[in-house]
Structure 1
């Protein structure tokens, strides 16, 4: 019988803790911080929304982030390997999460490609006086919900550039690729976006925009939908429960201050969201001032319409429009790219660990397949509609389901919650008490289950955005079916990689053992 080593396997690691923190911040701070939070806050009670937002951060966001960290760091593997080490037959949970990373990465890259094009357009303000017509008709050439084969060249070209860049970074690996990208890009993003916010605050009408965003609507606190919106925002913006943070924490060294790092990442992400809200609504206040209307009368206060229709209209009205546009869309590209890298590193490393692939072959395979699908689906005339549908189901059903299954599995099925708590306490200065188990085993899954049921009922009864049933079935419910199939199919083959699931990841640390 071959003896299995109990020594921790050789594995890439972050060269410094700051590299891990910047990479985690780079993953958390993405497009959703800029185009989703301001609109959600405005529509969900303004200043009063900060109360459920903070409650969601403390009761679900940070606790589940810690859970991701604990699983990845203790088990020394990305999601499939880590869950298999918790329980042999749980590998499918990890592959479900890996499937989510793949699906989200495929369409997320398209939005980065749009931002790259608009970065170039900013030098000439190419969108002109009618930014909506330019975005929907001239740029995306949006057609009907269908399976289109008509490729839009000025979307496909930057999309190919995005995927070539992703492959390059993945080939370089964790320390030479991912870490260095984030060390350069995250400070650049902070400086550039902070300058943009400061400029927006000096515009006429900025104060009216801020009043619209932060004036409390206290009656909103009695609306369950507002609390669900808060949990949704925290949940999705922190990149938790679908494998990203499990992967990133698996590359941490043995003695790493995990919980303190998690607090830094969580509060940095939330701070950037509030900064984005200030900048966006200062600019919207200026647009309302220019058009002599109230901020509430403006259209497109969240999502891609805010970013690629409303904001270009703002930029066109501003003194120094070119510089403002270059900084804004440059910030979008940076925020999106760091998040995209975090999505694909989990997929690439899962294939390396399971099938024994080298880093470069895995990177080329993942980036190549993802890129082909991305260009085929999201650079066509139906790309925007396909993206909107897949995003709705992957995020609001797939990620929420993943979180519920993960928390219930760890706390109630394998009952490893306290072991993971002790592991975090053994390596961290901020200590977790039993309250953490209550949050990840009770509060978070209960609230997420309410969210999930409400969303499923709504999608079954009302469909989605008036799209044809066959289209929602194919690109919406079909996405969920695909994730389940991936979870089953990829769990079947035997492990061939160096990171054999039966290796003991670490000898127990002193505090953990006790």
Structure 2
């Protein structure tokens, strides 16, 4: 007998498709260009210990928390938190939505860069000095940080393509768009990256790079900053705490194994990060040997790794464009699946609030996001906006928003036992009271510690040496705007009666009782 239908909300066609979509969101640019450098600078091989502790005590519990909220209340963050609590908790959801809005605006630019470098790899267009090519000929970065609107066509055109593809996929819906994109891209990403890693470890000097990556510095384990870095990496890489997993889990069928899905996603994400570390440091070992430099000289993270160090490696190998093509194709695939999930949070929230159809809500969200993105990023000052906004919105948008949400749900609303029972209802693994302790104490304490540390750092040392006015506008100002915007959106009335929530767990129990008779 089929289960009773309770809602017309779109659903993933299967749990496996959801897992692929969740992995697609979690596995992004940060896994490839952030984790290896964070691990290397925080104890090397010894970093695995705090990393695994962070995954088990905070990453996976917070993943279950997001899953439970989205799946139980069948909605995007604002409505899920409104249904879980009161009107003021809706603002916490909108805070997450606006954080996704901001991230999506600049994330499209990085995707566009990766797409262009995919084509550059065939001819090694960056020449003998990849750093000068990136900042000069390609991005045409202004010498003085500021705000300008001198457009750079080779960035603007691929950015426009990124937005057209993103809007197109999301407009097709959960089954026809998001699901199909992830079902195709995630397996291809894994195959490409495995080939890349195999190619990397066969390069001369690869062993030296791997030794630098895996050699443990046990003394680092006594440094609180190393443990904070491990927790920070887990929070950023799993796509938890800023609405993505709440939204995706709201598209799951009612009787879905949430805990099993969360464990698969969590360990798959960490496995990919480890794989990325092997591939990246094997290639850095080659660069170290070929240039005679030390690992400290060649190791880099973020944009420096992807668009300067890696092109240098490609030009030095003598094996043709294969390494560059695979690396930048992997960046594009990993980034695009994450981009879809980021924009989908905003689309789903607007769809809930206004009662619009899929196409309408996608256009209402996608076109303004694309317009803002195209106005600010493909310019000679776009890199400054991206760098500052990314730093502040990650540290004081994602972290602060996650901290506020956990404290509100766990300590003010006291909903953790209800969410725990929801996760355990259909689960292959039950964490029970352990999860309550982790979510009620460990996660908020760690988030609070990292948040306070970051605030002190940013206040005492201006980020990147940028002018105060620029940091106030693109940094602190952006964070304040997301908070004000969240409050304003929460104050607007709902266009249809969507706040009332059907308790599906209770209905399930009643249904099971009827079937038992």
Shared fold (TM-score, shorter chain, > 0.5): yes
1:503 to 501, 504, 509: 501
Provide closer, same or farther for how the CA distance between residues 178 and 264 of structure 1 changes in structure 2, counting only shifts above 3 A: same
Give the conservation status (yes or no) of the 8 Å contact 1:394–1:480.
yes
Q: Could you tell me how far 1:323 is from its partner in structure 2?
A: 1.5
Residues 389-437 of structure 1: per-residue CA shift (max 9 Å, x gap): 0011111111111111111111111111001100111121111210101
Residues 99 and 486, structure 1, Cα contact 8 Å, conserved in 2? yes
1:487 aligns with 2:450: no
With the length of structure 1 as denominator, give the TM-score of the two structures: 0.97
Alpha-carbon contact 1:208-1:295 (below 8 Å) kept: no
- Superposed counterparts of 1:273-292, under 5 Å: 273-292=273-292
Question: Which of the numbers 41, 44, 51 marks the counterpart of 2:42?
Answer: 44
Matches within 5 A, 1:87-98: 87-89=85-87, 90-98=89-97
Q: CA contact under 8 A between 1:142 and 1:384: conserved in structure 2?
A: yes
- The reply on whether 1:393 has 2:392 as its aligned counterpart is yes
Structure 2: distance between partners of 1:258 and 1:169: 25
C-alpha displacement at 1:265, in angstroms? 0.2
Please list, as runs of the form range in 1=range in 2, the aligned pairs for 1:3-402 lying within 5 A after superposition: 8-89=6-87, 90-143=89-142, 144-298=144-298, 301-402=300-401
2:244 and 2:345 in contact (8 A); partners too: yes
Q: Distance in 1 between matches of 2:85 and 2:512?
A: 19
Which residue pairs with 2:460 in the alignment?
A: 461
Question: In the aligned structure 2, how far is the partner of 1:85 from the partner of 1:427?
Answer: 22
Distance apart, 1:463 and its partner CA: 1.3
In structure 1, how many angstroms separate the alpha carbons of the residues matched to 2:22 and 2:470?
A: 35
> Counterpart of 2:11 in 1: which secondary structure?
coil
**How many Å separate the matches in 1 of 2:363 and 2:493?**
22
Structure 1's consecutive aligned runs of 4 or more residues displaced over 6 angstroms after TM superposition are 511-514
Count of paired positions: 507
Match of 1:12, SS state, is: coil
Give the 3-state SS of the residue equivalent to 1:149 in structure 2: coil
Matched, 1:426 2:425: yes
Residue of structure 2 in register with 1:3 after alignment:
none
Equivalent residue of 2:253, what SS?
coil
In structure 2, runs of 5+ residues without a counterpart are: none
Question: Distance in 1 between the 2:505 and 2:61 partners?
Answer: 25
For normalisation by structure 2, the TM-score amounts to 0.96
SS of the residue 1:135 aligns to: helix
Checking the alignment, whether the CA contact within 8 Å between 1:425 and 1:511 is kept in structure 2 is no
RMSD between aligned residues: 1.6
Q: Deviation digits for residues 156-200 of structure 1, max 9, x if unmatched?
A: 100000000011011100010000000000000000000000010
Contact 1:81 1:94 in 2 (8 A): yes
Deviation at 1:374, TM superposition (A): 0.9
Native 8 Å contact 2:258 2:426 kept in 1:
yes
Change in CA separation of 1:141 and 1:473 when aligned onto 2, cut-off 3 Å: same
CA distance in 2, matches of 1:180, 1:466: 44
What do the CA deviations read for 1:198-218 (whole angstroms, capped 9, x no partner)? Answer: 010000000000011110011
CA contact (8 A) 1:426 1:512 kept: no
CA distance in 1, matches of 2:210, 2:117: 26
CA 1:13/1:505 → structure 2, altered by over 3 Å: closer, same or farther?
farther
Instruction: Give deviations 1:132-168, integer Å, cap 9, x for gaps.
Output: 0001111111112111110111001000000000110
Structure 1 Cα separation of the partners of residues 343 and 225 of structure 2: 32
Higher mean Cα deviation, 487-496 or 262-271? 487-496
- What's the secondary structure of 1:434's corresponding residue? helix
Q: Which runs of 5+ in 1 are unaligned?
A: 1-5
- Assess if the C-alpha contact under 8 Å between 1:426 and 1:510 holds in 2: no
Contact in 2 for aligned 1:95/1:491 (Cα 8 Å): yes
How far residue 235 of structure 1 moved from its aligned partner, in angstroms, is 0.6
Match of 1:438, SS? Answer: helix
1:463-484 per-position Cα deviation (integer Å, ceiling 9, x unaligned): 1111000000000001111111
Q: Deviation of residue 505 (structure 1)?
A: 4.7
Deviation at 1:507, TM superposition (A): 4.4
2:408 maps to what in 1? 409
Q: Distance in 2 between matches of 1:216 and 1:443?
A: 26
